[in-house]
Amino acid sequence: MATELRLPMKTFTKPLALSLALSAALAAPAWADPAAFTVLTLEQAPGAEAMPALAAQLKSLKVDAVSVRQVQRGIGQVDPLQVLADGLGYEYRFIAAGKDDDQTQRGQAVLTRLPIAAESGPDQPGLNYLRLDDGRHTVAVYTDAGAGAAQLPALVTRSRLGAPAVLLGAVAGESATAAGFDPARVALEADASYFSDGFQAASSAPFKVEGSSLRATLLTLAYVADKGGEQPWMDTTLNADARAALLLKAMTEDEKFQMLHSYFGLGKDGGPLPEGAVGSAGFVPAVPRLGIPSQQSADAGVGVTNPGGIRPGDFATAMPSGPSTASSWNREVAFAGGATMGREAWQQRFNILLSGSVNLQRDPRNGRNFEYAGEDPLLAGSMVGALIQGVQSQHVISSMKHFALNDMETRRNFHDVRIGEQAMHESDLLAFEIALEAGRPGVAMCSYNKINGTYGCENGYLMNQVLKQEWKFPGFVMSDWGGVHSGSKAALAGLDQQSAGEVFDAAVFFDEPLRLAVHGGVVPQARLNDMVARILRTMFLHGNFDNPPQHQKVDAEAGFAVAQRTVEEGSVLLRNEGNLLPLADSVKRIVIIGGHADKGVIGGGGSSMVGVTAKGTNAVPGVLPTTWPGPVIFHPSSPLESLRAARPDATIEYVDGSNAAAAAKAAAQADVAIVFATQWAAESVDLPDMQLPDNQDALISAVAKANPKTVLVLETNGPVRTPWLAQVPAMLQAWYPGIRGGEGIAALLTGQVNPSGRLPVTWVVDESQLPRPHIDGLGFKPAKPFGDVFDFDIEGANVGYKWMAAKGLTPTFAFGHGLSYTTFAYENLKVSVEGSRLVASVDIRNTGKRAGADVAQLYLKLPADSTTPIRLIGYDKVNLQPGEQRRIRIEAEPKTLAHYDAQARQWKIDGGTYQVQLSRNAAEPLQSVDVQLVEQVLR
């Protein structure tokens, strides 16, 4: 870190005009000029005490951005740049650009007066940008690409979306030029800056900060003149809202209504595909007269589907299931998965991917848990947000769904979820809110179910008030397929587009019925325009006009690599008594039992199923059900073959497990037995209970009895009952591990990869520990019908570990639990609080003999009278070599410190003493510190 510069305070007394006049060689700066973008670069930030005076000096310059190369920020100390940002009223961001060898975080701080339209996160190295919106232009600001400079060209084409871009900082000039950037004329060699199309000229000059030797440069970039012409909305220097507004003006009423409803992309009743449809979930025809592209949407969250192989020749990566990605506790993994799916969607001609599933896991019996990201709003929201960001980095719009509280599948089109406003905001809605902030999805998909008596797609409270007003969602709300029950009522409640109503709803409400409502004045013309504008601005923003999809061959190997990394980071080693794993070299005879592990790994059923991959389709066809929500799929990735490849020195046999006695006999003759147990779950139906199906409990018990060295690999929707737990020394939860499941599991069992997954859900002992121990009507053939009401007020916001803590229950495995082949120790937890900003730092050390990653989890124990006892407030995954120690920093998500005041519609922190715990899992604090929080409202 560079040394701190100190500015004498008294020198900031001259009138600004004079100080500007004295500034050397200012080349006609355009202060707050709409025709130019201005950036002031400071080589080094002065200390906090000098900032108010600097802010005063910079205030009337109104530069669009202040970029700072070096700053000293210490834990527990006031961040000088925050003081400057507050003084200027600017937004403040640190744009990370990778770490130096000594683990110093490189990057640049950027303060801006413009709204931030999108930004990269610290977890996406190489994607170091901010997109700023001045109301007319969207400008992408990139900072020091550092080691990632070589990827710059790809990065720019992927994320620039036609916006004029400026590249600040010490970047290899060659890469910048290769990426299509022109060098700006710069006053100082070291301040190399580059600009892209969209700007026509740049000039820079040293800027003298009065009374200091601070080095500063002012860069002025002039925009190219508007293109105008016949299709002025195609002027890429305009921002998405401006382009949408221009286009809207040119549209006829018919063209507007065409935007408001999609067709089923697979055709009606087995008939031909709608003309122009690529073949998948949804399709809105193009308007060639105006150059509006068609909307082609595909499912979904674990890869691009190809239902029934409708698009011959297309295949995609079957990614591991949602809980697998969530178990990685690594936003980079989620981003990479999203980027893979987004890229493959684009290459298969889709511009919308119906990904971003973030419903909370309230119950292990929910049939769709495998699509979601666990029980905690912070973990689920941040991981799914990163995934959405990944999808949208590829010119593909992502949804977030199913909004909201579609947490069970039983009679999903009819059931009513009852839950209070505060509780819903602090649980499911918080997950959506965090996903929205992190990922900025272009689409929100409203859900089938009723929420407090009103259907999701007619719910004005959720769509208008919460999503659009409180959260300022600028995108559009699309219905789930079969979720619309009205025209004007739904439109007035905030629904913008009806999906495939001709097939799934009683009527295409958003065509004739809505037209009548608009003509009759029931739905204002302004609302109609708002619906269309939201759709168009989303399409502009995500490149649907400027970077339309192109049919290209998917890079199978690239997809496999991301899928495998996800299994490796997302499988959870639950138990490892006597260090049975990793398999020792002395283990020479291995028997693998059950789960079709000779052929592949199981996947979940329903609309999200990725059935066609580069390695073929179903490895085990014929398993019932073979029709919706089936077929049951086994992805062709054999754990048996992968283990044989990883351990060529061992004899590895396979027994199918259909006969427990035969399996036990084979196990008795082996050094180690590995049982694979599976549980299929699917959309539209919940699991009847938490028991493994098909007598697998008996199989596991018999094998474990025959050989005490039994390893269990689970491929399940989520937690199951474990009656044999005491007999089974080692357990690996692999969820639904996707197309590289076999390879990933083998790498983990043999120790080629050290497990680092942590549970995103509480592994309850059995149903008796759940808020609703018994529910009538679950499963395919329920004995009793379901009552159509889910009373979520029982647990309210206390989902999962919060419920366990409130009730004093001990689970089989706690939320956040997961073992490693090495060990970690934590020391010196320090927590600083400034307003709603809580930052913890702690030393973490790998005390074992293998490299590995641990997940440092930060929890807040709330005061005794709070409705919720404990919350996850932050986390960080850290890779460490044996013996390596690092000090890490975790910043808490402010909303997790607060409660939602439903009356005031605000997040408020209650003043008082709280305990911050650095924990191994939700039930195992390692270090704790008491902190005082001051009563306050979050901005």
CB of 607: closest distance to ligand BGC in angstroms? 4
Residue 160 to residue 162: CA distance in whole angstroms: 5
Show the site string, 328-357: x = touches ligand BGC by CB under 6 A, - = not: --------------------------x---
Amino acid letter, residue 200: Q
227 Cβ contact partners less than 8 Å away, ≥ 6 residues apart: 234, 235, 237
CB of 293: closest distance to ligand BGC in angstroms? 20
CB of 356: closest distance to ligand BGC in angstroms? 10
The encoded tokens of residue 766 equal 């059995």
389 Cβ contact partners less than 8 Å away, ≥ 6 residues apart: 121, 124, 335, 338, 438, 439, 440
**For residues 629-642, b (16+ Cβ closer than 10 Å) or e, as one string?**
bebbbbbbbbbbbb
The encoded tokens of residue 564 equal 């495998």
Q: Does 300 bind ligand BGC (CB under 6 A)?
A: yes
Q: Please calculate the CA angle 543-549-554 and round it to the nearest 5 degrees.
A: 130
How many CA atoms, within 13 angstroms, populate the side-chain half-sphere of residue 236? 17
Which is closer to ligand BGC, CB of 82 or CB of 399?
399
Please answer whether residues 340 and 301 qualify as being in contact, where contact means their C-beta atoms are separated by less than 8 angstroms: no
Please answer whether residues 346 and 394 qualify as being in contact, where contact means their C-beta atoms are separated by less than 8 angstroms: yes
Q: Does 278 bind ligand BGC (CB under 6 A)?
A: no
CB of 682: closest distance to ligand BGC in angstroms? 11
Please answer whether residues 436 and 399 qualify as being in contact, where contact means their C-beta atoms are separated by less than 8 angstroms: no
Residue 132 to residue 163: CA distance in whole angstroms: 10
CB of 331: closest distance to ligand BGC in angstroms? 23
CB of 96: closest distance to ligand BGC in angstroms? 33
Amino acid letter, residue 81: L
Which helix (H) or strand (E) is 846 found in, with range? Answer: strand 837-846
Residue 244 to residue 533: CA distance in whole angstroms: 6
Q: Specify which residues 913 forms β-bridges with.
A: 932
Q: Does 64 bind ligand BGC (CB under 6 A)?
A: no
Please answer whether residues 231 and 216 qualify as being in contact, where contact means their C-beta atoms are separated by less than 8 angstroms: no
The encoded tokens of residue 329 equal 């506790």
Which is closer to ligand BGC, CB of 606 or CB of 741?
606
The encoded tokens of residue 156 equal 């720019």
Which is closer to ligand BGC, CB of 223 or CB of 346?
346
Which is closer to ligand BGC, CB of 393 or CB of 406?
406
Show the site string, 597-636: x = touches ligand BGC by CB under 6 A, - = not: ----------x-----------------------------
Which is closer to ligand BGC, CB of 300 or CB of 319?
300
CB of 481: closest distance to ligand BGC in angstroms? 4
CB of 505: closest distance to ligand BGC in angstroms? 12
CB of 368: closest distance to ligand BGC in angstroms? 8
Tokens 């900072």 -> residue: 143
The DSSP annotation for 218-281 comes to EEEEEEPPP--SS-GGG-TTS-HHHHHHHHHHH--HHHHHHHTB-EETT-STT-PPPTT--SSS
Which is closer to ligand BGC, CB of 685 or CB of 862?
685
Q: Cis ω on the peptide bond leading into residue 35 (within 30° of 0)?
A: no
CB of 689: closest distance to ligand BGC in angstroms? 23
Cβ atoms within 10 Å, residue 71: 20
Going by the DSSP 8-state scheme, the letter that residue 309 receives in this structure is: G
Q: Cis ω on the peptide bond leading into residue 404 (within 30° of 0)?
A: yes
Which of 574, 559, 515, 508 minimizes the C-alpha distance to 759? 574
Which is closer to ligand BGC, CB of 354 or CB of 619?
354
Pick from 144, 480, 641, 743: which binds ligand BGC (CB under 6 A)? 480
Pick from 142, 283, 455, 481: which binds ligand BGC (CB under 6 A)? 481
Which of 734, 749, 739, 728 minimizes the C-alpha distance to 652? 749
Which is closer to ligand BGC, CB of 481 or CB of 560?
481
Which is closer to ligand BGC, CB of 510 or CB of 676?
510
Pick from 119, 134, 299, 407: which binds ligand BGC (CB under 6 A)? 299
The dihedral formed by the CA atoms of 129, 133, 139 and 145, expressed in degrees to the nearest 10: -10
The encoded tokens of residue 271 equal 């008939």
Which is closer to ligand BGC, CB of 79 or CB of 480?
480
- Distances in Å between the alpha carbon of 198 and those of 108, 152, 182, 515? 23, 18, 11, 40
Which is closer to ligand BGC, CB of 300 or CB of 853?
300
Classify 872 as helix, strand or coil.
strand
The sign of the CA dihedral 561, 564, 566, 569 is negative
CB of 338: closest distance to ligand BGC in angstroms? 16
Q: Specify which residues 856 forms β-bridges with.
A: 876
Please answer whether residues 788 and 414 qualify as being in contact, where contact means their C-beta atoms are separated by less than 8 angstroms: yes
Please answer whether residues 891 and 839 qualify as being in contact, where contact means their C-beta atoms are separated by less than 8 angstroms: yes
Residue 723 to residue 765: CA distance in whole angstroms: 9
Which is closer to ligand BGC, CB of 401 or CB of 740?
401
Show the site string, 383-422: x = touches ligand BGC by CB under 6 A, - = not: ------------------x---------------------
First to last CA, the chain: 32
Which is closer to ligand BGC, CB of 480 or CB of 743?
480
Which is closer to ligand BGC, CB of 544 or CB of 607?
607
Which of 708, 706, 730, 728 minimizes the C-alpha distance to 572? 730
Amino acid letter, residue 775: I
Which is closer to ligand BGC, CB of 90 or CB of 448?
448
Please answer whether residues 29 and 38 qualify as being in contact, where contact means their C-beta atoms are separated by less than 8 angstroms: yes
Q: Does 641 bind ligand BGC (CB under 6 A)?
A: no
Which is closer to ligand BGC, CB of 607 or CB of 618?
607
Please answer whether residues 728 and 575 qualify as being in contact, where contact means their C-beta atoms are separated by less than 8 angstroms: yes
CB of 299: closest distance to ligand BGC in angstroms? 5
Which is closer to ligand BGC, CB of 95 or CB of 354?
354
Q: CB-based burial of residue 126 (10 Å sphere; 0-12 exposed, 13-18 middle, 19+ buried)?
A: middle
Q: Does 281 bind ligand BGC (CB under 6 A)?
A: yes
CB of 489: closest distance to ligand BGC in angstroms? 21
CB of 661: closest distance to ligand BGC in angstroms? 43
Which is closer to ligand BGC, CB of 403 or CB of 481?
481
Count of residues that bind ligand BGC according to CB under 6 A: 8
Q: State the residues that interact with ligand BGC by CB under 6 A.
A: 281, 299-300, 354, 401, 480-481, 607
